[in-house]
Structure 1
Amino acid sequence: MSSLLSIGKSGLLAAQVGLSTTGNNITNAGVAGYSRQAAIQSDTATQDQGFGFVGSGTEVSAVRRYYDNFLAVQLRNAESSQASLDSYTKQISQVDNLLADPTAGLSPALQDFFNGVQDATSNPASAASRQAMLSTANSLVSRFQGLSARMTEIASGVNGQISSTVNEINSYARELASLNNTIAGLTTDGKAPNDLLDHRDQMLTELNKLVKTTVIPGDNNTLTVEFGTGQPLVVGNTAFQLATSTSPTDASRVTVGYQTASGAFSALPDSVLTGGQIGGLLEFRNGAMDRAQNSLGQVAAGLAVSFNAQHVLGQDQNGALGTAFFNPINAYVGVNSRNSPASTANVSAVVTDAGKLTASDYSVDFDGTNFNVTRLSDGQVTQINPFPQTVPQTIDGVDYTITGTPADKDNFLVRPTYNAAHDISVAITDRTKIALAAPIATAAPNANAGNAKISAGTVDKNYLTPGNALAAPVTLSYDKASNSLSGFPPTQDVTVTVNGVATVYPAGTPTVPYTDGAAISFGGINFNISGTPADLDTFTIGPNISGVGDSRNGALLAGLQTKNILDNGNATYQTTYAQMVNFVGNKAREAQITGSAADAAVDQATKQKESVSGVNLDEEAANLLRYQQAYQASGKVMQVASTLFDVLLNIR
């Protein structure tokens, strides 16, 4: 009888465990990360009764946790990619909305500015038109500065989010290390604390939404958590702490690294922080954000430099040569805080050529002998030669000047256009200083017998070379017998271009052959003479002494709007800006499409994981009935055993 009672009791206890396990599944069905559990029964040892072996009941050998590590890793990776894309999309959408705004973007302000230039060119003597041109210039500068300020705010917000995310990562790392320690202590004889394992896996899921990790199983159900290319985050019960610090070459951006026990900071390359929110933030900052801000600065710097280059070739209302319309654009130069204290090297960089200017950043490094300038967009290296310098060296439209005594491994970060939109400003405040006129005037006297005409003439940058500016008129005389012109300044070469072929006549050449329609230049002065001159006909090129109503330089300034100046003469200001807007828009759209695919991948991975680990309430309801019936049946076995025992006691 005791054997029958024992069998019934074992079945009763097993059914009770099954009911408890099923009930636990039902009550935790909505808990994130909970894995379905099941009571695993096995029969107990049988006993030899002579005629054969008779069973002695059942026992619960384990409470099994239904969990597939492959599916869990698949889901974590999908959620990490989803979080990265979500973070990236939120940030780039801000930049996209900012740049593409038809009223707040740059294009309307650029158009208004050049409308002002054209109006002043049409009315060069009008004080109102000149003042309106200054007003539109200041409005354009304000637009540049406003866009730059908004981008700086977005970048600052990214810095804050990176720091916040690092703090969250550290919190999860500490909790995972603590759980590792607790789980290892509770793991005995192959039995593991299922609920703690679920809790740890859920924390790994949340951690992967912050940064993509790799999980390596260890002894006693512990896990090692790594990120990037094997950088440790959790090893056993030890959590490695991350921290943020300002970049050694740019105080406006934060970097991520390890925080040692002594408080020292060891920076990590951004490339190891992939996936999750922090991966999306860094990808946005180092990609779309930097390119957008650099490209905006490229337009600002390109406009300032090219407009200045033409403006200084004009003449203002006071009869003086033009001065810079915009203030110079100085590149941002970040001195690496890790440079040797013994170094006195200093790097300065000024944008001087709009056409060769790029939107890239540059690293300037001293190798112990030479300074090398590396274009970070493609790795192209240019050596500063000679060093020490005698004059600035121009690299990609930027003049580099390096002074002082460097130390080995000195490093500088040069960002030619990053702050240009913020730094651009109008240098002229006096409307009479706007140089709309040309500094030279040409004339063909009415007394000439031939029909040859001389063009109005222009000047180029060589006119600004000391000694080239005209102090008095130059009179050219035509000699019919030799078909040549004489009277050119004796100290300047004369270049005659016919059908694209240039011929240079050295300074002091007494006569220069005449060709109808040829382009003639000397000392930065350019003009054409066309037609048939008569013998002794003269042509005069002299200083412009009545240029108040002249707008030849104004027309050239207005023409800059549609001239291919930037990108080595392949793009206008507007097209460069449009390319940037298009790039950001495409990236935003790409992120949205990829994000939709990531959402689908997460949904699919979730369903696959839930098919193994998820709680099915219909199934659990059936299990309740099954265990209830088993419980009742085991109770009936015990009842029968009790009845039989009573019968034996009542036998006399």
Structure 2
Amino acid sequence: MSINLLSIGKSGLLAAQVGLATTGHNITNANVAGYSRQTVLQQNATPNQAGNGFIGTGTEVSQIKRVYDNFVAGQVRAAQAGTSSLDTYYKQISQIDNLMADPTAGLSPALQDFFKGVQDVSANPASVASRQALLSTADSLASRFQGLSARLSEIGNGVNSEITSNISVINSYASQIAKLNESIGNLAVGESNMPNDLLDQRDQLVNELNKYVKATVMPGDNNSLTVSIGNGQPLVVGVRPFQLVAAASLTDPTRVEVAYVTGTRTLVLPENALSGGSLGGLMEFRSGTLDRVQNSLGRVAVTLASTFNAQHKLGQDQNGALGTDFFNVAPPVIQADYRNNPTSTTAVSATVSDPTKLTTSDYGVRYDGTKFTVTRLSDGVKTDISPYPQTVPQTIDGVDFSVAGAAAEGDNFVVKPTVNGAFGFNVLVTDRAKIAAAAPISTSVPTSNTGNGKITPGSVDQNYLTPGNALAGPVTLTYAKGTNSLSGFPPTQAITVTTAGVPTTYPAGTASIPYTSGSEISFGGITLAISGTPGDLDKFSVAPNISGVGDNRNMALLGGLQTKNILDGGKATYQGAYAEAVSFVGNKTRETQINGLASMALLQQTEGQQQSISGVNLDEEAANLLRYQQAYQANGKVMQIAGTLFDVIIAIGR
């Protein structure tokens, strides 16, 4: 009996000792990230059967249990991935927001200054100072476009570096998790005897991993965790980690993508394959904001350069020559997939034919074995190249697509119509005398006319630049009163008369056309109007402009481009299109900031919930210390009494 009592006291003493050690372990690790509170589970030892029943034999520690909730932990991981993604997105987009909205460094001031220079030349077309000032403001505008483009490229390079850095960290965490899987598998005994501290370390690593990429966790064999990312790509399976690598884009060697390594193969993942965490935030920012802003800025540059050039070439400079391109227009960028069949001779070309219809999207061109399909990458709208082989280019969103050569199935190309628009924007006219402020034609009415007929100064359009249409000498139109008609038009050119908005076209060689006062008359790219009541055989002259030094007609038309709705199919001005991009960035920045704050609040809430379950409460642990201390002392007293009883028995036997 005394010996059994001693054993009972000893079991209780040892159990209290384990409780004190566990409580002390909790207290000392209270501030360790990821530590989960541990508790001691006791159960009664197997009793001994006696004649009058079962006599207890004490207690034993059945398990040192980690207080942990898998469901809440999963919520914390998801909240962490979302918060990290939004935080990274916000840090990146804030750079663009500050850049584009800057009242001094943004594009708007440079645009306004440039068109002020255009207006000054329009007001003083012969002024050397005004012309030189226009060239200076044009250079400033080009520098602003190029500076903004360079800054966006720097941000893109920074994204590349951060993607590479994040991949290294993710690979490191994957290796550490795999090693802990191995250690836990070797040390665990069944489901109840687990190395709790190693489990905490592993779960904390998974939490840290979710700061970089959203990870899905599933239980695996031998108490391991299986970790997967993206669309189910395994990152850790048992004791084996898989690796990510930074790889060049399939079509752009300057763009870093995430690739997944499986054996000897390296698979470049789609940009939308990885979500959550800072890596997901970087990928989403680049594809959703940075690319769009670069294309938006480039679209404004390409449209401005193209439309300004088109009007400038319809003018006449101080040397009497037609205007030339004022700005350089950057061509579309065409990139081939490096996986294309080497036997393929496919050649894809693209030319901006109508800048007013340009979008901010890039385009994919792919051959499926029977036809080429152009896909607008911003919304997935597909257009087949038809007919194929082509006889003429096919126009999609203002871009002429041409495909030639012998194609192989799977041939893939990416066309970026405006990505380099801002970078390639520069001034081509350096001589102020070559600013085409004047119109290339002039009209006049001889003083010998007997009637009161008048002729407008006239204007020219793109058809005037067609070979053979430009005036080589004066054209004299003569009014015949008897037939109420005009004659003298160039015999090789058709004539269009527009009366009250209704056009009537007369074929080339028509001897005379009916006269209607105020009607627009167009031929060879020239448009004019004659009004009033001409006298019989009155003449109206249209001739090359030989005294255009003080003429501002073309410069006035160039100035009018500033307020003309040109972009988005005639719905937005240059300034309006840029303002839309600024507004998009501003709204997206604010949206990301608000969502980030909400996500942070959710993370704090879920972490608080997790801490309420798994966290160490020092007050509670202090109470446990007292409880286990009292148990220790009480069991010590049991052992002391058992010893005294044993001594009594020994004394009786003497």
- Please tell me the TM-score bracket, short chain as reference: over 0.9
Question: 3-state DSSP class of the match of 2:267?
Answer: strand
Structure 2 Cα separation of the partners of residues 447 and 369 of structure 1:
70
What is the distance in 2 between the residues matched to 1:415 and 1:321? 32
Cα distance in 1 for partners of 2:32, 2:369 equals 62
Residue 650 and residue 367 in structure 1: after superposition, are their counterparts in 2 closer, same or farther (change >3 A)?
A: closer
Cα offset, 1:20, TM superposition: 0.3
1:209 maps to which of 195, 208, 211: 211
Indicate whether 1:298 and 2:299 are aligned. yes
Is the 1:248–1:338 Cα contact (8 Å) retained in structure 2?
yes
- The residue that corresponds to 1:637 in the other structure is 638
Given that 1:330 and 1:420 are in contact with CA atoms closer than 8 Å, whether structure 2 keeps it comes out as: yes
**In structure 2, how many angstroms separate the alpha carbons of the residues matched to 1:202 and 1:499?**
79
- The superposition leaves residues 47-75 of structure 1 with CA deviations (integer Å, 9 ceiling, x where unpaired) of 23322222111111110110000000000
CA–CA separation in structure 2 for the residues paired with 1:142 and 1:348: 28
1:285-304 CA-to-partner distances (Å, cap 9, x unmatched) read 00110110000000000011
3-state SS, counterpart of residue 357 of structure 2: coil
Letter in 2 for 1:557: L
SS at match of 2:63: strand
The answer to whether the aligner puts 1:27 opposite 2:7 as a matched pair is no
Equivalent residue, structure 1, for 2:241: 239
Structure 2 Cα separation of the partners of residues 539 and 176 of structure 1: 90
CA distance in 2, matches of 1:53, 1:357: 91
Structure 1 residue 386 displacement after superposition: 5.1
CA contact (8 A) 1:305 1:352 kept: no
- Matches for 1:479-518 after TM superposition, within 5 Å: 479-518=480-519
Q: Is the 8 A contact 1:470 1:542 kept in 2?
A: yes
The SS at the match of 1:211 is coil
**Partner Cα separation in structure 1 for residue 402 and residue 316 of structure 2:** 31
1:339 matched to 2:348: no
Whether the aligned pair in 1 keeps the contact of 2:454 and 2:531 (CA below 8 Å) is: yes
Matched, 1:44 2:45: yes
The residue that corresponds to 1:222 in the other structure is: 224
Structure 1 counterpart of 2:198, from 196, 210, 218 = 196
Query: C-alpha displacement at 1:379, in angstroms?
Result: 2.7
* SS of match in other structure, 2:42: strand
Q: Structure 1's 348 and 271: CA in aligned 2 closer, same or farther, altered over 3 A?
A: same
Letter in 1 for 2:324: T
Residue 364 of structure 2: SS of its match in structure 1?
strand
- Cα deviation for residue 346 of structure 1 reads 2.7
> Counterpart of 1:135 in structure 2: which amino acid?
S
Where do 1:84-95 residues align within 5 Å? 84-95=85-96
Q: Once structures 1 and 2 are overlaid, which stretch shifts more, 473-482 or 114-123?
A: 473-482
Q: Secondary structure at the match of 1:59?
A: strand
RMSD in angstroms over aligned alpha carbons? 1.5
Within-5 A mapping of 1:431-442 = 431-442=432-443
Asked if structure 2 preserves the Cα contact closer than 8 Å seen for 1:304 and 1:329, the reply is no
Q: Could you give the per-residue CA deviations for residues 491-545 of structure 1, whole angstroms, max 9, x where no partner exists?
A: 2111111222111122222222222221111111011222222222221111111
Q: Is the 1:257–1:266 Cα contact (8 Å) retained in structure 2? A: yes
Residue 381 (structure 1) aligned with residue 379 (structure 2): no
Q: Does 2:359 match 1:364?
A: no
- State the distance in 1 between where 2:204 and 2:499 align: 79
Q: How does 1:46-65 map to 2 (within 5 A)?
A: 46-65=47-66
Which residue of structure 2 lines up, in the alignment, with residue 158 of structure 1?
Answer: 159
Quote the residue 2:82 is aligned against: 81
Tell me the secondary structure at the aligned position of residue 250 of structure 1. coil
Alignment-mate amino acid for residue 224 of structure 1: T
Q: Deviations over 1:124-143 (max 9, x none)?
A: 11222112111111111010
| 1:329 and 1:351 in contact (8 A); partners too | no
Residue number in structure 1 paired with 2:256: 254
SS in 2 for 1:19: helix
Say which SS state the counterpart of residue 32 (structure 1) adopts: coil
The TM-score with structure 1 as length reference comes to 0.97
Q: 2:446 is paired with a residue of what secondary structure?
A: coil
Q: TM-score, normalised by structure 2?
A: 0.97
Conservation of the 8 A alpha-carbon contact between 1:328 and 1:350: no
1:99-498 map, 5 Å: 99-190=100-191, 191-262=193-264, 264-385=265-386, 387=388, 389=390, 391-498=392-499
Report deviation, 1:388. Answer: 5.0
Percent identity over the alignment is: 64
Amino acid at match of 2:257: T
Give distance in 1, aligned partners of 2:346 and 2:537: 62
Distance (Å, rounded) in 2 between the aligned partners of 1:228 and 1:402: 35
Instruction: Name the aligned partner's letter for residue 21 of structure 2.
Output: S
CA distance in 1, matches of 2:39, 2:386: 76
Query: What pairs up with 1:582-597 in 2 under 5 angstroms?
Result: 582-597=583-598
Kindly indicate whether the alpha-carbon contact (under 8 Å) linking 2:220 and 2:237 is maintained by their aligned counterparts in 1: no
CA contact (8 A) 2:179 2:239 kept: yes
Comparing 85-94 and 269-278, the one that deviates more: 269-278
Cα separation, 2, equivalents of 1:415 and 1:528: 43
Pick which of 396-405 and 42-51 moved more.
Answer: 396-405
Q: Find the residue that maps to 1:270 and give its secondary structure.
A: coil
Structure 1 residue 530 corresponds to structure 2 residue 531: yes
Q: Is 1:121–1:436's contact at 8 Å kept on the other side of the alignment?
A: yes
Q: Any conservation in 2 of the 1:355–1:566 contact (CA below 8 Å)? A: yes
User: SS state of the match for residue 479, structure 2?
Assistant: strand
- Cα distance, 1:429 vs structure 2: 1.5
Q: CA deviation at 1:368?
A: 3.8
CA distance in 2 between counterparts of 1:369 and 1:602 reads 51
Say whether the 8 Å CA contact 2:329–2:421 is kept in structure 1.
no
User: CA offsets, 1:310-365, max 9 Å, x none?
Assistant: 01111111111111111232111112111222223333323232211111101122
**CA deviation map 1:456-489 (0-9, x unaligned):** 1110001111111111111112222322222222
CA–CA separation in structure 2 for the residues paired with 1:122 and 1:412: 48
One-letter code aligned to 2:273: V
Partner residue, 2:575: 574
AA of the residue aligned to 2:180: L
Q: Residue 231 of structure 2 contacts residue 274 of structure 2 at CA under 8 Å; is this kept in 1? A: no
1:246/1:253 contact within 8 Å kept: yes
Q: Which amino acid aligns with 2:207?
A: T
Q: Distance in 2 between matches of 1:393 and 1:428?
A: 32
Corresponding residue number in structure 2 for 1:542? 543
Measure, in 1, the Cα distance between the counterparts of 2:578 and 2:498. Answer: 36
What residue is the counterpart of 2:522 in the other structure? 521
Q: Secondary structure at the match of 1:272?
A: coil
| Residue-by-residue CA offset, 1:355-409 (whole Å, 9 max, x unaligned) | 1111110112234454332222233333445555555444322233444443332
Equivalent position SS for 1:649: helix
Where does the alignment leave 5 or more consecutive residues of structure 2 unmatched?
none
Letter in 1 for 2:226: T
CA shift, 1:630, in A, is 0.4
The letter for the 2-side match of 1:438 is: A
Instruction: Identify the range of structure 1 (370-379 vs 427-436) with the bigger mean alpha-carbon deviation.
Output: 370-379
**More off after superposition, 365-374 vs 550-559:** 365-374
DSSP 3-state at the match of 1:258: strand
* Kept in 1: contact 2:258–2:268 (CA 8 A): yes
CA drift of 1:261 comes to 4.1
Decide whether the 8 Å contact of 1:520 with 1:527 is kept in 2. Answer: yes
The count of corresponding residues between Structure 1 and Structure 2 is 651
Is the contact made by 1:330 and 1:416 (CA closer than 8 Å) also made in structure 2? yes
**Counterpart-to-counterpart distance in 2, 1:284 and 1:494:** 55
